[in-house]
C-alpha cells in the first residue's frame, strides 16, 4: 500500500508526511517480510507502528516509491527529519525573568544516511501577530533539549516549535509569557471610602470574574469600581493602616501590607 505525493517545486516535499507522522512510524508500516504474507491476503493486517522495524524499505520497492518517487535527484532523502515535541516542563514564563524550558520528543536531531552531517533543531517563538524569534538551544539530544526564553520577551501567547532548516517544523507547543504582578502603592480615601491600588501587570478584568479576579483586604473581597493594567479602585467601608491588600489578577496574585494573617487593629474614629 503506497501513497503518491504530487510533484511540486519544493525539493524537500518528501518531508510533508513527517508533518504529522514520525519517520520511525513511516518506515514501519509494511507487513513484516518474515511472516510470508502480503498485503491484501486473508489474515494479513498492518498494525501501524506495530510491525517489525526495518522491513518497510526492504523487499518490494513500491514501499519506497510511495513517498520517495517524486524527490528530485539532487535532493538528499536523508535530509532534516521533522522533529516532534511530546512534552514540556513549562507552560508559562514570567516577563522580565529568563526561563529555562525543557522539551522532550523525538527527531530533535538526526544524522543523514552517511552519518556525515547532523541536523539539529532551533527553537522558534511565534507571537499572535505572526512575528517570530529564533532561539538556540542550551543543550540538545535526539529526544530532549533545553532552551532559555529571555526575560525581554514581551507578555503574550507564543507557539513554540523545533525547526530544522526551512521546512522541517515540529508541532507547536503553546507557552504564555505573563507579566510580573507588582503592587507599588496602596492609598485610601477614608472620607470617600475608596481604596486605590497602583502597580503593573494587573491585566484585564472581564465581566463575571469577581470570584477569582478581585481585590481582597485582610482576606475579604471588596467591590471593584475600576480596573486597568496599572490601577485598581474599590469601595471600602474602612481602611485599616496595617491591612493586607491582595490583588488576584488573571495571571497570578500578589499581596502587600500585613501578610501575616493577623486580624487588623480595631478601627475607631479618626484612626480609621
Report all structural domains of the chain as residue ranges with CATH numbers, in order of start: 13-68 (no CATH), 84-178 (2.60.40.10), 182-271 (2.60.40.10)
For residue 118, the model assigns a pLDDT of: 87
Q: Which helix (H) or strand (E) holds 94?
A: strand 92-94
Phi/psi of residue 197, each to 5°? -120, 125
CA distance 149 to 130: 18
Query: Cell digits for 207?
Result: 465581566
Q: Do residues 50 and 135 lie in contact, with contact meaning Cβ atoms separated by under 8 Å?
A: no
Bin 57: left if φ > 0, else alpha if -120 < ψ < 50, else beta.
alpha
Q: Do residues 235 and 243 lie in contact, with contact meaning Cβ atoms separated by under 8 Å?
A: no
Cβ contacts of 155 within 8 Å, gap of 6 or more: 95, 177, 178, 179
What size, in residues, is the chain? 272
Q: Helix (H, G, I), strand (E, B), or coil: what is residue 249? A: strand
C-alpha angle 205/208/214, rounded to 5°? 50
For residue 116, the model assigns a pLDDT of: 75
Residue with cell 503574550: 156
Q: Do residues 23 and 48 lie in contact, with contact meaning Cβ atoms separated by under 8 Å?
A: no
Cβ contacts of 211 within 8 Å, gap of 6 or more: none
For residue 105, the model assigns a pLDDT of: 92
Supply the DSSP string of 139-152, one letter for each residue.
Answer: EE-SSEEEEEE-TT
Q: What is the pLDDT along the chain (272 residues), one digit of tens a residue?
A: 333 334 444 444 555 566 666 655 666 555 565 666 665 667 776 665 666 655 554 445 555 555 555 444 334 456 788 899 999 999 999 999 999 999 999 889 988 766 678 889 999 999 999 999 999 999 999 999 999 999 999 989 999 999 998 878 899 999 999 888 999 999 988 889 999 999 999 989 999 999 999 999 999 999 999 999 999 999 998 877 778 999 999 888 999 864 443 434 434 444 44
CA distance 79 to 71: 12
For residue 216, the model assigns a pLDDT of: 95
Amino acid at each position: 500500500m503506497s501513497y503518491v505525493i504530487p510533484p511540486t517545486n519544493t525539493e524537500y516535499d518528501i518531508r510533508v508526511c513527517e508533518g504529522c507522522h514520525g519517520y520511525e512510524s513511516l518506515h514501519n508500516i509494511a507487513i513484516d517480510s518474515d511472516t510470508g504474507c502480503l498485503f491484501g491476503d486473508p489474515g494479513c493486517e498492518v498494525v501501524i507502528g506495530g510491525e517489525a522495524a526495518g522491513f518497510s524499505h526492504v523487499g518490494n520497492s513500491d514501499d519506497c516509491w510511495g513517498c520517495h518517487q517524486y524527490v528530485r535527484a539532487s535532493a538528499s532523502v536523508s535530509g532534516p527529519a521533522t522533529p516532534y515535541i511530546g512534552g514540556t516542563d513549562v507552560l508559562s514564563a514570567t516577563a522580565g525573568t529568563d526561563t529555562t524550558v525543557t522539551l522532550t520528543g523525538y527527531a530533535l536531531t538526526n544524522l543523514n544516511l552517511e552519518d556525515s552531517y547532523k541536523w539539529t533543531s532551533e527553537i522558534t517563538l511565534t507571537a499572535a501577530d505572526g512575528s517570530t524569534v529564533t532561539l538556540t538551544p542550551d543543550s540538545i539530544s535526539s529526544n530532549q533539549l533545553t532552551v532559555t526564553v529571555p526575560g525581554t520577551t514581551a507578555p503574550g501567547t507564543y507557539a513554540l516549535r523545533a525547526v530544522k532548516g526551512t521546512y522541517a517544523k515540529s508541532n507547536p507547543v503553546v507557552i504564555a509569557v505573563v507579566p510580573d504582578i507588582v503592587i507599588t502603592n496602596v492609598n485610601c480615601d477614608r472620607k470617600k471610602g475608596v481604596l486605590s491600588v497602583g502597580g503593573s501587570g494587573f491585566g484585564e478584568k472581564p465581566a463575571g470574574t469577581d470570584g477569582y479576579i478581585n481585590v481582597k483586604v485582610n482576606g475579604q473581597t471588596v467591590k471593584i469600581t475600576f480596573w486597568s493594567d496599572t490601577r485598581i479602585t474599590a469601595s471600602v467601608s474602612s481602611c485599616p493602616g496595617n491591612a493586607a491588600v491582595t490583588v488576584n489578577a488573571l495571571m497570578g496574585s500578589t499581596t502587600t501590607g500585613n501578610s501575616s494573617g493577623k486580624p487588623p487593629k480595631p478601627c475607631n474614629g479618626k484612626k480609621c
